[in-house]
Amino acid sequence: MERFKKILLKVLKWAGISVASLLFLMFIIPILFPGTISAQVKIFANKHLAGKLDYKKTHLTFFRHFPSLTVSVDDFLLKGSRPFENDTLLAAREVSVGINLKNLIFDRQVKIDEIYVTDAYGNVFVNSKGEANYNVYVSKPSSQPKDTTATGTSVKLDFIKLKNWNITYRDHSAKVLVDAKGLNYTGKGGLSEDIFDLETDLEINKLDFSLNRIYYAKQKTLHADLITRINTNALTFVLRKNELRINDLPLKFNGFLSILKDGYNLDINAASEKTTIRDMISVLPPQYLDWAKETKIEGNSDLFFSLKGKFSEPKNLKPRLQARLLVSDGFISNAKAPVPMNNFNMDLHVDLPDLDTDQLGINFKTLGFDLGPNNNFRAVVKTKGLDEMQINADIKGAVDLYTLNQALGLKNIDVRGLLNTNIKANGIFSLDKKLFPKTNGTLNLRNGWLKTKYYPNPIKNINIAADIVNTDGTFKSLGVKLDPFKFDFEGNPVFVNADLQNFEDVLYKVRAKGVLNVGRIYQVFAKKGLDVSGLIMADLSLNGRQSYATTGQYSKLDNKGTLILKNIKATTASLPKSFYIKEGNFRFENEKMWFQKFSATYGKSDFALNGYLLNTINYFIERKGTLHGKFALNSNYILIDEFMALKNGDNKDQPIEVEYAKVENPKSSGVVIIPKNLDVALSLNARKVEFKGLNLNHIKGTASVEKGQVYLKKTSFDVIGSRMGIDARYQNESPLTANYDIALKVLDFDVQRAYREIDMIREMATAAKNVKGIVSIDYKLKGDLDKNMKPIYPSLEGGGIVNLRDVEVKNLKMLSAVGDNIGAKAFNDPDMKGVNIETHIKNNLIHVDKFTFKVSILRPTISGTTSFNGLLDLRIRVGILPGGIIGFPVVVTGTHEKPKVKIFSKKGQGILDALYNKKTNKVIRQERRAEKKTKRQQRRDKRVQEQKAKAAEQQIDKDLKEK
């Protein structure tokens, strides 16, 4: 026993010494090596990261991620790679790297084999051009063999742990959004090897996934147990063991993903077999999950999914998506239901080749359910395509909506009525080709009732009787009859009767009467508090044929009645804000829809319209219809800036290209987008129009909107104290670019005031800084506008005349330099009154025709070329008495700020013009000094440039006169 005690004491003694030594080393090692580790980690980061790295404080400890020795940094911030160097790629409360202790102690080398990132925000982004912000790691390939004896920092990862991440992945080129919150990730494997197996454990508290703005997952929980073989040489990921659980739905998948130079190559198959309908419902949007918890749901389901092919934006390649959903023996019942929904069966196939919705195939092989005897629904529907859709459908059912509502146990909604439907259709639907499936169908709803929790009163007495017939698959035999469609709301009955025949040339007979409180009826379907209100009052009788209006047979039309709108809020896809229609009184009279009294506001802008629209029936019947009209437009104030596409506003349903342009250009305003379905003439009368701080007052003239272009004709306005006349054309090319033609005349305006108040004058005519007095302009220009609706100067073409009616030009550097070189100080204050200067512009060069002025007894004549960036190539002939007949040549080169003068020389230094790509709106090459050439070559090049510039001016005249 005594011996045992001695042995035990020795064991405890040495164990204590070992523990104490270990603890001592854990404290002393961070003290011995902090400089080595901190310095080498910073060197490594600066050497291998293209994005800007920043952090506040560093730590070296065993205790943050015991037992690893870790270098930790607090408040870590990493910016993205170009062109996203100002955007955050990763921000984290703590980033730690594990250090290999053996290499540190014995070799004094820092080998990183573990990474820990805690409380982080990741922002991964790929723009519409396919440029990504995550290319921050810079590897420098070398033909030399690896030096295994080299010292320094290296990475050989075996372990990654991410804790409490929020990460967003947005790929605009693929129209994909992934937003993950509460992400926890553990990855194990030889991550530094060329080929290795990565073991992954992943949990996400809330996951959103959308494709082309359609959400396929919203606030889902996800757990993944994965083993992925990664080949870093080929950037290929082979999915070996992959088990997912999305909410309660298990999902297994396999396949591979390869990252290509310009996209991806993937072949992924997924399946969720032998699950239940309840498991499948768990992936529905969150608002439906509470309903599922309180409802008895039984039945089986199977889901199969595949995504195969290459994705490449430059090559326009996209993979094929296929899916199948099977539901069998479904049973859904609420405790209050008189009968359950049973025999719920569905077999749905989806096929989307090239992720192209025009090739979308949907096949409901089976869709049906029963609600007791004589109360059932059956459908077989097969479609292919979208714009041109092949349809084969057989839908039949008689459903008591109250019984259905009770069986499902739906909350917040009370729906009643007897719904009978019997529709058979087979053929092609195409608006462009005017094809419609052969159809025989009816839909009847009797004694309908709809009430929601959002509004205390129901929509009552809903009755719909609709018949649709097509006998030969064309629009000509298509007939739709609605007799009646009526309901009561808030004591106001509304009814519509419609009989439409022959959709190739629609014969219509429509009667509509009633009052709708838009704000209140909206509350029936949506939550209160949204800014929607107003009244619509209709009393219309429309009778006629579509072609009567287009062929001028107005006497055969019998359209009459009134439509009154009050306090209606409306949005249009092309504008960021809503229009607020204060009052709109419309009168229908045969072919015309008269705007008798119409007033509206848009942000700070106001409008009053009087006039009429033509072709309103065609516009609503045909998808590509164009509205024609003639109006007088009056306004007190119009702010053009708030019409620019990328400005902030309450319109949340703008086109996806506008949404992406906003994200990719957050500091840009975009350009004004013009609707393409309008052909409207306007008589303008506006007290004030403001554009980028420039005030245009008392605008009068005519305008027209046609096919996405705006034309101004014989329009005039007051600007900087002068009256300007203008003819112009404007057209947007995208949310970020536009083009224009403009011919303007302005008499007697103050040069200094123009220089102070107009940006374009300061940028185009820098010499105006040294000019005081009154000038007149007759000028024509065309060009492009950039993403802030500013002129792109290399795109400008045109020319014209500037008349210096009464001006003082003092201390212009170019003239002063000439005066200094010839000993004539009078060049500092030349007499240019009454001088006409004619110039022509193209490719960022301004070609100046000969003009003569007075300098004391001298008569200088100037011609040549200058550029918007200040380059000079001017010839001056300094004429002397008598009458300037005798003179000597001077050449001025250099720049406006640093002119170079040569006396008795005719040899200048040509300027090579800029190159501009009109399709991409990009400057390919800035103008620059030309290589030395002979005088003949220079004269030839100059003549070619001037001829092109004059031709551009003539083309502007032609373009404006055509309209």
Distance CA 396, CA 381 (A): 11
**Average pLDDT score over residue span 719-741:** 93
**Average pLDDT score over residue span 668-684:** 91
Distance CA 773, CA 762 (A): 16
Q: What is the three-class DSSP state of 862?
A: strand
Say which range, 340-344, 542-546, 552-556, 730-734, has the weakest mean pLDDT: 552-556
Query: What does the pLDDT read at residue 671?
Result: 95
Query: What does the pLDDT read at residue 150?
Result: 43
The overall average pLDDT reported for the chain is 83
pLDDT surpassing 70 at residue 948: yes
Neighbouring CB atoms inside 10 A of 448's CB total 20
pLDDT surpassing 70 at residue 634: yes
Please state whether 548 falls in left (phi above 0), alpha (psi between -120 and 50) or beta: alpha
**Average pLDDT score over residue span 785-796:** 93
**What b-and-e string marks burial along 427-436, b requiring 16 or more CB atoms within 10 Å of the CB?**
bbbeeeeebb
Say which range, 291-300, 448-457, 786-795, has the weakest mean pLDDT: 291-300
Distance CA 43, CA 107 (A): 18
Instruction: State residue 39 phi and psi, 5-degree precision.
Output: -65, -45
Which segments of 298-426 does DSSP mark as H helices, in order? 401-408
**Average pLDDT score over residue span 33-46:** 56
DSSP string across 32-73: HSHHHHHHHHHHHHHHHBSS-EE-SEEEEESSTTTTSEEEEE
Instruction: State residue 172 phi and psi, 5-degree precision.
Output: -70, -30
HSE-up of 887 (CA within 13 Å, CB side)? 19
**What b-and-e string marks burial along 353-379, b requiring 16 or more CB atoms within 10 Å of the CB?**
eebeeeebeebbeebbbbbeeebbbeb
Cis bond upstream, residue 794 (ω within 30): no
**Average pLDDT score over residue span 48-61:** 73
Distance CA 324, CA 518 (A): 41
Looking at residue 460, its amino acid is: K
Query: What does the pLDDT read at residue 571?
Result: 81
Distance CA 887, CA 857 (A): 12
**Average pLDDT score over residue span 667-686:** 92
**Average pLDDT score over residue span 663-679:** 90
26 versus 78: the higher-pLDDT residue is 78
Q: What percent of the chain stands above pLDDT 70?
A: 84
**Average pLDDT score over residue span 119-127:** 91
26 versus 220: the higher-pLDDT residue is 220
**Average pLDDT score over residue span 568-590:** 87
Crossing angle (nearest 10°) for helices 34-48 and 2-32: 50
Distance CA 659, CA 646 (A): 8
Cross-strand pairs, 181? 166, 206
Distance CA 446, CA 484 (A): 11
The pLDDT tens digits for 289-321 are 667 777 888 889 998 989 999 888 788 888 999
**Average pLDDT score over residue span 709-713:** 94
Q: What is the three-class DSSP state of 128?
A: coil
**Average pLDDT score over residue span 54-68:** 64
The pLDDT tens digits for 870-916 are 899 999 999 887 667 788 999 999 998 899 999 988 888 888 888 89
pLDDT surpassing 80 at residue 47: no
Neighbouring CB atoms inside 10 A of 284's CB total 14
Query: What does the pLDDT read at residue 669?
Result: 94
Instruction: State residue 607 phi and psi, 5-degree precision.
Output: -140, 145
**Average pLDDT score over residue span 250-269:** 84
pLDDT surpassing 90 at residue 108: no
Query: What does the pLDDT read at residue 934?
Result: 61
For residue 173, give the nearest of 231, 125, 244 by alpha carbon.
125
pLDDT surpassing 50 at residue 19: no
Cis bond upstream, residue 735 (ω within 30): no
Distance CA 170, CA 178 (A): 6
pLDDT surpassing 90 at residue 602: yes
Distance CA 847, CA 868 (A): 11
Contact (CB, 8 A) for 79 and 52: yes
Q: Please count the residues of the chain.
A: 963
Query: What does the pLDDT read at residue 25?
Result: 45
Query: What does the pLDDT read at residue 48?
Result: 64
Contact (CB, 8 A) for 610 and 588: no
**Average pLDDT score over residue span 83-103:** 78
pLDDT surpassing 70 at residue 478: yes
Confidence grade of residue 179 (pLDDT, cut at 50, 70, 90)? very high
DSSP conformation class of 474: B
The pLDDT tens digits for 368-382 are 999 888 889 999 999
Residue 957: C-alpha distances to residues 57, 798, 952 (Å): 66, 10, 9
HSE-up of 314 (CA within 13 Å, CB side)? 7
**Average pLDDT score over residue span 675-686:** 91
Q: What percent of the chain stands above pLDDT 90?
A: 34
Query: What does the pLDDT read at residue 532?
Result: 57
Q: What is the three-class DSSP state of 751?
A: helix
Q: What is the three-class DSSP state of 211?
A: strand
Residue 341: C-alpha distances to residues 185, 334, 450 (Å): 42, 9, 21
Residue 141: C-alpha distances to residues 44, 145, 146 (Å): 16, 11, 11
pLDDT surpassing 50 at residue 28: no
Distance CA 85, CA 209 (A): 26
Cross-strand pairs, 369? 377
Query: What does the pLDDT read at residue 31?
Result: 45
Radius of gyration of the chain (CA): 38
Distance CA 796, CA 846 (A): 10
